[in-house]
Amino acid sequence: MRLIRVIRSIKILFVGSLSFVFLSCNRGIEPGVLRFSHFWSEPTERAAMDSLIAGFHREHPEIPVEVTELSWSDGKTKLMAGFNAETAPDVLELGSDWVAQFSSSGVLQSLDSVSSILPRFTNSPSYSHAPAMWGGHYFAVPWLLDTRVMFINDDLLHGMEDTAQPWDWQAMRSWGEAAARNHSIGIGVNGPDQHRLYKKFLPYVWSNGGDLFDRSGRPTMNTPQNIEALRFYCDQMNVGEMETQKDLDDAFVRGTLAIWFSGSWLLPPLAKVPFHWHTVLFPGNDGHTGESFAGAEYLAINASSPMMREAELFLAYITQPEHELAFARKVNEYPADIRSQSDTFYLHRREGNVFTAQLQYARMTPVIPQWLDVEAIIEDEVSKALYKIETPEQAMASMQRRTEERMKQP
């Protein structure tokens, strides 16, 4: 009887193993279908994506494409879960600060030998190349770009903008003081705001001749330039107000905020406001060039994709200058192709020349796999300085120490 029970157990185990293998191989993935995950889910964005996919289908009717929409709130987690479960899409969109974490994990296909895609790196800004690379190899393609500029409410400044020259940190402070004297909010200061605060703070560091990492990736946060940048960022509250990005965007559109550092998403709501406004480049300090933050969307291929040829064809199609430009215009972003950034759509729209010029003086986040954790440290320490829990010196020293500790971990 015992032998029979053992045999039955082996049979059950064997059948169960076969079932597991069958389910693992199937995973609900339809063979022969190219799967693409992206983050353009708003109605107008979805229509633009549908048009892009339809164009690819006309050129390659033999390749069906299944599209999955992700959100920025949990999309990264879903992609990571998909790679762990071996169900990740064949082609995927990534934010610029995510690429290093994926490419360093070995889940993205190297694009070094894909001749149809390599010209993309020649025709895109040099600062967009580093996030696409790991270990000297290309793993993602820069697709769309955007940056941030200074929005100025002319009515609240009463001509002050005509007398403050040159445009630098001192001028920005003077403009803010002028607005504050008129009982308005002088300068908007982005406070604690996950995934946004660091984008507002880093340009002050770069535009003061500082940086948070050296060329070899070692933290360099506790420097005089960076401390000075944080002190100025915090001192802006003397003539301004600290809120989230959304609240300050709304305040500028309402006409109660004089100076605000924001992106092109503000252009549509500002088209109908009753007050006068304009934009200027982000200012530098002490002779340094003003450098803004550049955000970017990247495209990559799953290294385990069974449809590698089809994925390369799809990637080459949607990054062709004419297709990329058509999509970028519809979603109010800039194409990564430098040649398309001077398209009449951008130069003729209001303030388009300022955004186009700012794209020439912009940077992206450092390329380190631990970036998202480091980002959280930066935002935490800047918040402590804003709330005067720490001095700028203490905050930058703590930022340096905590980042060094995190960089020692995998």
Show which of 340, 358, 376 is a domain's final residue.
358
Which residues, in sequence order, are CB contacts of 20 under 8 Å at separation 6+?
Answer: none
- pLDDT one-digit tens code per residue, 62-77: 999 999 999 988 999 9
**240 and 375 share one domain:** yes
pLDDT score of 409: 87
**Pair 88, 306: CB distance under 8 Å:** no
Specify the pLDDT at position 305: 96
Between 148 and 346, the more confident residue is 148
Please measure the distance between the N-terminal and C-terminal CA atoms of the chain and give it in whole angstroms: 52
Q: Are residues 223 and 349 in the same domain?
A: no
Same-domain status, 234 and 383? yes
Q: What is the 3-state secondary structure (H, E, C) of the chain?
A: CHHHHHHHHHHHHHHHHHHHHHHHHHCCCCCCCEEEEECCCCHHHHHHHHHHHHHHHHHCCCCCEEEEECCCCCHHHHHHHHHHCCCCCCEEEEECCCHHHHHCCCCECCCCCCCCCCHHHHCCCHHHCHHHEECCEECCEEEEEEEEEEEEEHHHHCCHHHCCCCCEHHHHHHHHHHHHHCCCEEEEEECCCCCCHHHHHHHHHHCCCCCCECCCCCECCCCHHHHHHHHHHHHHHHHEEEECHHHHHHHHHHCCEEEEEEEHHHHHHHCCCCCCEEEECCCECCCCCCCEEEEEEEEEEECCCCCHHHHHHHHHHHCCHHHHHHHHHHCCCEECCHHHHHCHHHHHCCCHHHHHHHCCCEECCCCCCCHHHHHHHHHHHHHHHHCCCCCHHHHHHHHHHHHHHHHCCC
In this structure, the answer to whether residues 117 and 265 fall within a common structural domain is no
Give the domain CATH number at 338. Answer: 3.40.190.10
Q: What is the pLDDT of residues 270-282, one digit of tens each?
A: 999 999 999 999 9
Q: Same domain for 318 and 334?
A: yes
Judgement on whether residues 203 and 87 belong to the same structural domain of the protein: no
Residues 234 and 370 in one domain: yes
Q: Which domain holds residue 84?
A: 34-145+295-358
Structure tokens at 286: 């002490």
Each residue's pLDDT tens digit, 372-404? 899 999 999 999 999 999 999 999 999 999 999
- 86's tokens: 């071996």
Q: Is residue 75 part of a domain?
A: yes
Same domain, yes or no, for 113 and 205?
A: no
Residues 158 and 85 in one domain: no
Tell me if 40 is assigned to some domain: yes
Cis peptide before 31 (omega within 30 of 0): no
Residue 18 lies in a domain: no
Give pLDDT tens digits for 219-251: 999 999 999 999 999 999 999 999 999 999 999
In this predicted model, what pLDDT tens digit does every residue of 332-354 receive, in sequence order? 899 999 999 889 988 888 888 99
Over the chain, what is the mean pLDDT?
A: 89
- The per-residue pLDDT for range 310-334, each reduced to its tens digit, is 999 999 999 999 999 999 999 989 9
d(CA 63, CA 33): 7
Residue where one domain finishes, among candidates 358, 381, 397: 358
From CA 279, how far away is CA 190, in angstroms rounded? 18
- Indicate if 253 and 317 belong to the same structural domain: no
Asked if the structure places residue 163 within a domain, the reply is: yes
In a domain, 286, yes or no: yes
- Please tell me whether residues 285 and 303 are part of one structural domain: no
Q: Do the beta carbons of residue 158 and residue 118 sit within 8 Å?
A: no
For residues 94-120, average pLDDT: 91
Distance in angstroms (rounded) separating the CA atoms of residues 170 and 193 = 26
What is the percent of the chain where pLDDT is above 70? 91
pLDDT of residue 19: 36
**How high is the pLDDT of residue 14?**
32
Q: Any idea which of 43-57, 177-191, 193-207 has the lowest mean pLDDT?
A: 177-191
Mean pLDDT of 99-103: 92
Confirm whether 378 is domain-assigned. yes
Q: What is the structure's pLDDT at 215?
A: 86
Q: Quick check: is 260 in a domain?
A: yes
Q: Are residues 200 and 263 in the same domain?
A: yes
Query: Higher confidence at residue 227 or residue 167?
Result: 227
Does a structural domain hold residue 370?
yes
What does the pLDDT average to over 101-114?
A: 93
Q: How many domains does the chain have?
A: 2
